[in-house]
Structure 1
């Protein structure tokens, strides 16, 4: 009997998962090289949707000691679609969903507590997981921001002639028959990136900035005419990463909070961590 690939992947979400990488991985703290490895792996703790880097113990170049930070962090479960809750980066590194030991490292800045985790699993016996947020990272000689890239995660952008209409409480926000449609692995809905000329209301920039490992840095906008003063409603990548040049300067909206029709047919609002305004 045929099986859905996405369902197969989701069935493993509760497991401790890993994938070796052939890339040279380096973790830096200021000018100090904390780890340097050509034997690294990506590791997903149970229920985590984003991996962290793991390296052999012998590739950590600074002293490690037992940590007193174990158990201090709490989980922040989120829901994507209709499935079980998952853990995205909002659940910090300090919360661990598998058995193991939290550790600290010593650098020229002092002790960084709890930024290393050694899982008990025998398959990962020689590896330690490193807190992505605690270091600067290089894959080969290129910097990586946001989180490690998942080799099983794709972002595809396709030009389209579908007519997309977005409304908020009856107010026309945008309408376009030339969207760029962005398809991202395991997310429950396509994203529509529209030319700014097809946005029908003024967009007011907010101070919010986020970083996507696949698309780059996003800046955000509010729509005051719709009563959304100060609330992030839309975003744009002015200088996207080389993976997604087609969306440069275009505008996407939180479809979770808008009424969307495509070629005259209404779309069901997807359920994601962004369904409610932050």
Structure 2
């Protein structure tokens, strides 16, 4: 078991060899065994997919940007499959800061905005509150930041 309270701050970036998968409207839009995860105190891991392992035809630029104090500027993407759209379901850091340069142009997905996300074949649960986009698996324990009342922990 991994406790999110044992994760570091600033966050740690590490490679993931387990298969990661995102499914939307019956289509696999991303699948990789060459992903990364970002581990930050109090947050479930956020998984990043290399662009070569994402069906880029399913992504469309979405409005909005955000700023991470560690990784920099994030851009958002809608996922569109056969007429169904999930707005701002994915994001990427086109030019992250140096400690996170390995995920430059990689895509992360909100588990709550697509139909399924999997790590090693296990269906994940979305991080409560949806702000951080973490994926919860059976080997990750909290409490997790994002639940009501936790924004300023």
TM-score by length of 1: 0.41
CA spacing shift, 1:273–1:5, aligned 2, 3 Å = closer
Identify which of 250, 259, 262 aligns with 2:119: 262
Q: Residue by residue, what CA displacement relative to the aligned partner does 1:193-219 show, whole Å, maximum 9, x if unpaired? A: 111111125211123111111110011
From the CA coordinates, give the structure whose radius of gyration is larger: 1
Identify which of 137, 156, 176 aligns with 2:12: 156
- The answer on whether the counterparts of 1:254 and 1:274 sit within 8 Å (CA) in structure 2 is no
Report the aligned-residue RMSD: 2.4
- The answer on whether the counterparts of 1:201 and 1:223 sit within 8 Å (CA) in structure 2 is no
Unaligned runs of 5+ in 2: 133-153
Could you say which residue in structure 2 is the equivalent of 1:272? 129
CA spacing shift, 1:171–1:186, aligned 2, 3 Å = same
TM-score by length of 2: 0.72
Q: Residue by residue, what CA displacement relative to the aligned partner does 1:66-105 show, whole Å, maximum 9, x if unpaired? A: xxxxxxxxxxxxxxxxxxxxxxxxxxxxxxxxxxxxxxxx
Is 2:54 the counterpart of 1:199? yes
- Deviation for aligned residue 1:272: 2.4
- The answer on whether the counterparts of 1:238 and 1:248 sit within 8 Å (CA) in structure 2 is yes
Q: Residue by residue, what CA displacement relative to the aligned partner does 1:134-193 show, whole Å, maximum 9, x if unpaired? A: xxxxxxxxxxxxxxxxxx722111112110111124321211011011111111x21111
CA spacing shift, 1:5–1:243, aligned 2, 3 Å = closer
Greater strand proportion: 2
- Deviation for aligned residue 1:246: 1.4
- The answer on whether the counterparts of 2:112 and 2:130 sit within 8 Å (CA) in structure 1 is no
Q: Residue by residue, what CA displacement relative to the aligned partner does 1:105-128 show, whole Å, maximum 9, x if unpaired? A: xxxxxxxxxxxxxxxxxxxxxxxx
Q: Distance in 2 between matches of 1:177 and 1:170?
A: 21
- Runs of at least 4 residues of structure 1 off by over 4 A? none
> Mapping of 1:91-240 within 5 angstroms?
153-187=9-43, 189-202=44-57, 203-225=59-81, 227-228=84-85, 231-240=87-96
- The answer on whether the counterparts of 2:110 and 2:130 sit within 8 Å (CA) in structure 1 is no
- The answer on whether the counterparts of 2:25 and 2:81 sit within 8 Å (CA) in structure 1 is no
Q: Distance in 2 between matches of 1:166 and 1:250?
A: 14
Q: Distance in 2 between matches of 1:5 and 1:240?
A: 23
- Deviation for aligned residue 1:228: 1.5
